[in-house]
Chains A and B, each alone.
Chain A
Amino acid sequence: MTEQVIFYVSAFVALISAAGVVLNVRNTLYAALCLVITMLSLAVLFILLNAEFIGVLQVMVYAGAIVVLFLFVIMLLNIRGGDMGADRQPVLKVIGTLLIVGASVKLVPLLSESRRAWPEVGPEFGTVRAIGGTLYTDYLLAFEIAGVLLLAGIVGAVVMGKQRID
């Protein structure tokens, strides 16, 4: 029962605030805040799905770093209100919305088709130890590549962001 309530509330909040990101035309900052709320509700869903480590990571990285970066840029550029990046293109909006709503109507039954029962999982499932164990054995190479990717990202961000490079 508790689980049901938690699921429906966080799913609802996640979807509403996600819609808020899209619909918040006036204020970019509010869109960013809506994004945080989506991230947090998704983290709740992750923990509900026994993915505790990933759920905390979601809060740490997405809410704690990525969206802060968004806020940082929004404030640095000082985008207040709707003075920058106004959104005027009614035709595309209507077409896009219809398209997406149509696709969703198609998608929902499609996804609900695959009913399968939850299997029992041990208490180890999704813990830091279990994830770490898998990550450093089977997925070692992927982990290393993620490291190189971060390095490339740092170099790239510095090249783009720095005022002057010599």
Chain B
Amino acid sequence: MEVGAYVPVALFLFAVIALVFAPLMTWVERKQSALMQDRIGANRADILGIKAIGLLHPIADAIKMITKEDTVPDGGDRLLHTLAPIIATVPAMISFAVIPYGGSYQAWGAEWDLVVADLDYGVLYIFAVASLATYGNVLAGWASNNNWGMLGGIRVAAQMISYEVAMGVSAVGVFMIFGTLRLTDMGFAQQETFRLLGFVEHLGWVGAGTWWVELIKIPMWGIFLQPLAFFLFLTALMAENKRAPFDIPEGESEIIAGYFIEYSGMKFGLFYMGEWVEVVVISGLMTAMFLGGWSIPYLPDDVLVEFLRHGVGLNMANVLAMIAHVATFFLKVIVLIWFQQLIRWSVPRFRYDQVMNLGWKILLPLSLANIVITGLGILIIGEIMN
């Protein structure tokens, strides 16, 4: 873990994600929900008549939140009440540290790795940090000295513990396929392609180099190798994020607003911001693990750089490749964010028992089955290859 010169750049990008993406998310969400509910949404905020398709709303939100009175309920715990939103938000932000949003580039004698910390146990780091966010929500419920808040806190604790199990177990299949927990290694591995029909050749049914075997090539993305794990992991992550349809800790029709019932002003804003950053993190993680990370399908990094250097020279080729890769990464992230919005506004909220059943009786057994199937698959493929 040596600290390189790329850290300022990395940190800058990282700050952009947290501070630009999160406010934008509010706008996206409003627009999306309006679209899906057949109404015109987010069009009131205007400065001198300029509405800018509702893009001013995030600014209005920020002004409102900051200027609102900050209250701590009577009999509540002042210290924890203040700490809770911070504890809930910070983990989401720092978990972006291990997600690579680009590969490795040589330009002007320096090496640029587009990841803040390339840890050997990358995915585990995210799991570990994400599990800390629970404290923020649980403590918020406790510190509010409010029965609804308390119920919300209990629900958060139960939901988090339940879904962490499924989350961890469903990711194991991916670790088995790529043989690593390091997200950059996964990214590099996913640049490869494999021949879908390659097995007929290995089994000796047709000769080597048959044209139709070479024809169908698929990128080695996690989603193609582990389709079941993709959906299980995404579901578990969304449940960890506690947004609709998994928002039973808030459940405003049952327990009013759950753990942040007694929050106002920027403290309340922090909770929301935490959730939105989490949505981005989820999408980033899913992209890195399942959607090939920064890689452009059928176009490995070195091929791209090699192609570009003929026109613009090595340094600029690297820079262009970097820009292309970062753009690809964020495109994938945006698609995933949109997908999550789609789910959020399509599916009604689960009941408490349904959420628990889904976690323990469906996700967990399926994840375990996925591990067994993956193991068998690896064994069989290993046999065929030899």
Contacts and interface: CB of A to CB of B under 8 A. Distances in A.
Q: Do A and B come from one complex?
A: yes
B124 A56 contact: yes
Question: Size range of the interface on A?
Answer: 20 to 34
Going nearest first, the 5 A-B pairs with the smallest beta carbon separation are A64-B131, A59-B128, A72-B157, A60-B128, A56-B124
A25 interface: no
28 contacts: A29-B142, A33-B135, A56-B121, A56-B125, A57-B128, A59-B129, A60-B127, A60-B168, A63-B131, A64-B127, A64-B128, A64-B131, A64-B132, A64-B134, A64-B164, A65-B131, A68-B135, A68-B161, A69-B157, A69-B161, A71-B135, A71-B138, A71-B153, A72-B158, A75-B141, A75-B154, A128-B121, A128-B124
Contacts of A78: 150
B181 interface: yes
Interface string B126-147: 0111011011001101100000
A139 to B, nearest CB: 18
Given A59-B132, A64-B132, A128-B181, A53 B157 contact: no
Contact of A127 (B120, B134, B138): B120
Interface string B147-182: 000100110011011001000100000000000110
Nearest to B124: A56
A69 to B, nearest CB: 7
Nearest to A27: B77
- Interface hub of A59, A65, A68 (most chain B Cβ within 10 A): A68
Given A29-B142, A72-B154, A57 B124 contact: yes
Interface residues of B, number: 27
Contacts of B128: 56-57, 59-60, 63-64
Interface in B109-133: 119-121, 124-125, 127-129, 131-132
B150 A59 contact: no
A interface secondary structure, majority: helix
Given A52-B121, A56-B128, A63-B131, A75 B142 contact: yes
Interface string B18-50: 000000000000000000000000000000000
Interface string A65-77: 1001101100110
A57 B164 CA distance: 13
Nearest to B129: A59
Nearest to A131: B121
Contacts of A33: 135, 139
Given A52-B120, A60-B127, A75 B138 contact: yes
B26 to A, nearest CB: 29
A21 interface: no
